[in-house]
Amino acid sequence: MSLHLLLKSLLRRKVVTLLLLVQLALTLALLVNSLLLAGQTRDKLNEPTGLDLPHILQVQLKPTTTDLRAQPLLGDLLERQLAAVRTLPGVKAVAYANQGPVRQGGNQGNLYDPNDEARTNVPSIPAYIVSPDFFAALGLKLLEGQLPQTAVPLDGEVRSPMVLTRSLAEKIFPNRSAVGLDTSYAPVAAVVEDFFGHLMATEIMYNRIQVAPLLGVDWGYALLINTEPSATENIRQQLPDLLRQIDPNIEIFYIRTLKEQHQRLYSNEFGLATLLGILSGLMLLVAMVSSYSNAHFHALKQQQEIGIKRALGASKQLIFLELLSENWLTTALGALLGVAAALALNKMLASVISLNALSWWLPLLVSLVLLVCVTVATWYPARIATSVSPATATKTL
């Protein structure tokens, strides 16, 4: 059957065809974006972090009294907490920090080479104030220099030396060693391997660390604990009671592994991808049912016409192909509308969450899936229609 005759056949049932086109377009738009979001979320969850996520615990807490939130009582509290946690079986290292890694955002600032500010300025870098064991607590590999072994106050006459991650050091001091060079904030003492910092940073692997006392913790602080793999859960369960025994005037917000923290960062994307996936599956099922019903009803209405064609010598295969061709054309038109709908939905979602632009192959792949599903749904009605004999189909003429 020619394209003109196929279009003419579809136009004879305008309302049904239009509704089916809209349904197919919406199905394709949802499928494309749910697959894109699911793939993007999977890639983010599997991206390298530079950290042993399952076996590093982060305790987020805050003293409940004003005196404990500032020096000197704060320093004494931190030392007692670190000493107590070190006694737990399975603890490899523990450190305090003004904030933990693997976060949405937090305390950040810029950094640059004073001799080349215009080119090297990085506007948003997580700034960690930590105890000396921070690097052991995160299992970070030293690449250059020497890690600071003592805490140097940030407000002292001597500037507290800074440790940079590899990618940040290469950005600010390309093609040369950063160790011993000065930055806009402090001299560089060492360079360590990259690790996942903050999503809102200029780059997630850009981090700067200073070993210094915490001057105040009105917003709380973190304890980072590197554990033996077999002891992680046992240590987690003991921590609340242990920390409250040291001083009951603390509020523990949460105790999580960095893996749990990492998963929480992308929970919105994962939840939305799951929701869109469920809706897409339901829409695909409804589209198949609608295609089946449309093909079955259309075949019944054309029964006499099919009988006449058979009587005039048309083969079953030709009739079968004609019936499928109508549904293939409907699917193709619906897919074209669906591509436009998918692009519009992609822009809407990108304004709410971080979502990549559509790749050309994804709508094509989903269109093929849609075509296969519609073919499966309409195969049986088309097969039934071709099985009717010419005598039966034309007996009322």
| DSSP for 206-244, written as a single string | --EEEE----B-TT-EEEEEEE-GGGHHHHHHHHHHHHH
Q: Is the pLDDT of residue 263 over 80?
A: yes
Structure confidence at residue 2 as a pLDDT band (50, 70, 90): low
Between residues 395 and 256, the one the model is more confident about: 256
Q: Contact, 53 vs 227, CB < 8 A?
A: no
Q: Is the pLDDT of residue 392 over 90?
A: no
Q: Is the pLDDT of residue 302 over 70?
A: no
* Same domain as 17, residue 72: no
Q: Would you state the pLDDT for residue 317? A: 64
* Same domain as 236, residue 117: yes
Q: Look at the chain and report how many structural domains it folds into.
A: 2
The percentage of the chain sitting over the pLDDT mark of 90, rounded to a whole number, equals 56
Looking at the DSSP assignment, which residues form a beta bridge with residue 73? none
Between residues 60 and 25, the one the model is more confident about: 60
* Same domain as 120, residue 23: no
Cα Rg of the chain (Å, integer): 32
CA distance 121 to 161: 19
Q: Mean pLDDT across the stretch 169-180? A: 95
Q: Does some domain include residue 34?
A: yes
Structure confidence at residue 42 as a pLDDT band (50, 70, 90): confident
Q: Does some domain include residue 139?
A: yes
Which tokens go with 34? 């749910």
- The residue out of 248, 279, 296 marking a domain boundary is 248
- Taking the chain, what is the end-to-end CA distance rounded to the nearest angstrom? 24
Which tokens go with 293? 């019903």
CA quadruple 134, 136, 139, 145: dihedral positive or negative? Answer: positive
Q: Does some domain include residue 260?
A: no
Torsion of CA 240, 246, 250, 256, to 10 degrees: -30
Q: Mean pLDDT across the stretch 74-91? A: 96
Q: Contact, 102 vs 53, CB < 8 A?
A: yes
Q: Would you state the pLDDT for residue 310? A: 56
Q: Mean pLDDT across the stretch 60-65? A: 96
Q: Does some domain include residue 54?
A: no
* Same domain as 304, residue 238: no
Q: Is the pLDDT of residue 397 over 60?
A: no
Comparing CA positions, the residue from 164, 168, 190, 170 lying closest to residue 179 is: 190
Q: Contact, 210 vs 186, CB < 8 A?
A: yes
Q: Does some domain include residue 298?
A: yes
Q: Does some domain include residue 53?
A: no
* Same domain as 376, residue 298: yes
Q: Would you state the pLDDT for residue 329? A: 80
* Same domain as 35, residue 182: no
Q: Contact, 32 vs 362, CB < 8 A?
A: yes
Which of 27-36, 81-90, 344-353, 354-363 tops mean pLDDT?
81-90
Q: Which of 53-67, 100-114, 356-370 has the lowest mean pLDDT?
A: 356-370
CA distance 152 to 129: 10
Between residues 172 and 275, the one the model is more confident about: 172
197 contact partners, CB below 8 Å, separation of at least 6:
101, 102, 103, 125, 126, 165, 204, 205, 206, 207
Q: Would you state the pLDDT for residue 38? A: 83
Q: Would you state the pLDDT for residue 301? A: 64
CA distance 178 to 196: 20
Give the H or E element holding residue 259. Answer: helix 258-265
Residue 195 phi/psi, 5° resolution? Answer: -150, 160
Helix (H, G, I), strand (E, B) or coil at 252: strand
* Same domain as 272, residue 152: no
* Same domain as 105, residue 242: yes
- The residue out of 248, 280, 313 marking a domain boundary is 248
The size of the chain, in residues, is 397
Structure confidence at residue 380 as a pLDDT band (50, 70, 90): confident
- The residue out of 248, 276, 301 marking a domain boundary is 248
Q: Would you state the pLDDT for residue 387? A: 66
* Same domain as 341, residue 237: no
Q: Does some domain include residue 253?
A: no
Between residues 158 and 269, the one the model is more confident about: 158
CA distance 393 to 72: 97
Q: Which of 8-12, 35-39, 385-389 has the lowest mean pLDDT?
A: 8-12
Q: Mean pLDDT across the stretch 298-318? A: 60
Q: Would you state the pLDDT for residue 242? A: 97
Domain that holds residue 389: 3-46+267-393
Give the H or E element holding residue 62. Answer: strand 56-63
Q: Is the pLDDT of residue 123 over 70?
A: yes
CA distance 193 to 183: 19
Structure confidence at residue 155 as a pLDDT band (50, 70, 90): confident
Q: Contact, 229 vs 94, CB < 8 A?
A: no
Q: Would you state the pLDDT for residue 9? A: 58
CA distance 133 to 81: 14
Q: Does some domain include residue 287?
A: yes
Q: Would you state the pLDDT for residue 270? A: 80
Comparing CA positions, the residue from 107, 120, 125 lying closest to residue 214 is: 107
Q: Contact, 122 vs 168, CB < 8 A?
A: yes
pTM above 0.85, yes or no: no
Count, in order, helices (H) and strands (E) of the chain: 13, 10
* Same domain as 10, residue 77: no
Q: Contact, 128 vs 40, CB < 8 A?
A: no
Other Cβ atoms less than 10 A from the Cβ of 110: the count is 14
CA distance 210 to 161: 6
Q: Is the pLDDT of residue 312 over 70?
A: no
Which tokens go with 363? 């709508």
Between residues 75 and 311, the one the model is more confident about: 75
CA distance 29 to 335: 9
Summary mean pLDDT of the chain: 87
Q: Would you state the pLDDT for residue 130? A: 97
Give the H or E element holding residue 281. Answer: helix 267-301
* Same domain as 80, residue 32: no
* Same domain as 166, residue 114: yes
Comparing CA positions, the residue from 299, 338, 241 lying closest to residue 21 is: 338
Residue 357: CA count within 13 A, CB half-sphere:
1
Between residues 298 and 285, the one the model is more confident about: 285
Q: Would you state the pLDDT for residue 148? A: 95
Q: Would you state the pLDDT for residue 306? A: 62
